[in-house]
Amino acid sequence: MARNLILVSMLAAALALSGCQSGEPAGESGDGTVLPDQEIDGFTLTQTREGQKVWVLTADHALVFEEAGRVEMTSFRVDFFSEEGEVRSTLTAREGLLKQRSNDMEAFGNVVVVSDDGTRLTTERLTWNERTGKIESDEFVRVVQGRDEFTGVGLEADPDLENIRVESDFKAYVRTTDGELVEED
């Protein structure tokens, strides 16, 4: 009786295992699409350095691809922190990508960075370089500081938007007392 039970258990295990094998590599669907290893609603990740928060990333939805070392996110937000632990700026975008090995990030679609002093940067694509601690873009950018603004193509800046370098096509504008935006010479 015990021998038959062991034999039935082994047969059941063999059938279960053979049913799991579809002839496709793990993580791929039948059409060759790579499937995520994890799918997370309400994703949050905190980056610290010597016990202090550097940034906190949140997303409504995240797909984790472990082998590729990336996390794809929607409704992406990153709060950057000062050494005193205060939020110094917030980045939001429609989509984001986190490279897990380097903690570099990319933000896509309606990208907005707002610093604690109200400076506002808008663009369609932006990256965070973890090694340098800078945000960067190769796209058209618009920065509004108080009543003034400037535009250009390509940018490198601190996350708090205090030190900004525009690569090319820089144009500065000032707002007159009656609210008109005028290009500065």
Q: Which domains does the chain have, with CATH numbers?
A: 37-183 (2.60.450.10)
Q: Hey, is 21 helix, strand or coil?
A: coil
* DSSP classification of residue 28: B
Q: With cut-offs at 50, 70 and 90, classify the pLDDT of residue 15.
A: very low
Place of tokens 């015990």: 2
| Most trustworthy range by pLDDT among 7-11, 36-40, 94-98, 146-150 | 94-98
Residue 63's closest CA among 34, 24, 36? 36
**Half-sphere exposure of residue 181: CA atoms within 13 angstroms, side-chain side:** 11
* Res. 17: pLDDT tops 60: no
Alpha-carbon dihedral angle through residues 16, 17, 20, 22, given to the nearest 10 degrees = -130
- d(CA 112, CA 81) in angstroms, rounded, equals 17
- d(CA 173, CA 73) in angstroms, rounded, equals 35
Q: With cut-offs at 50, 70 and 90, classify the pLDDT of residue 183.
A: confident
Query: What are residue 176's phi and psi, to 5 degrees?
Result: -75, 170
The tens digit of pLDDT for each residue in 90-106 reads 999 999 999 999 999 99
Q: Average pLDDT, stretch 80-96?
A: 95
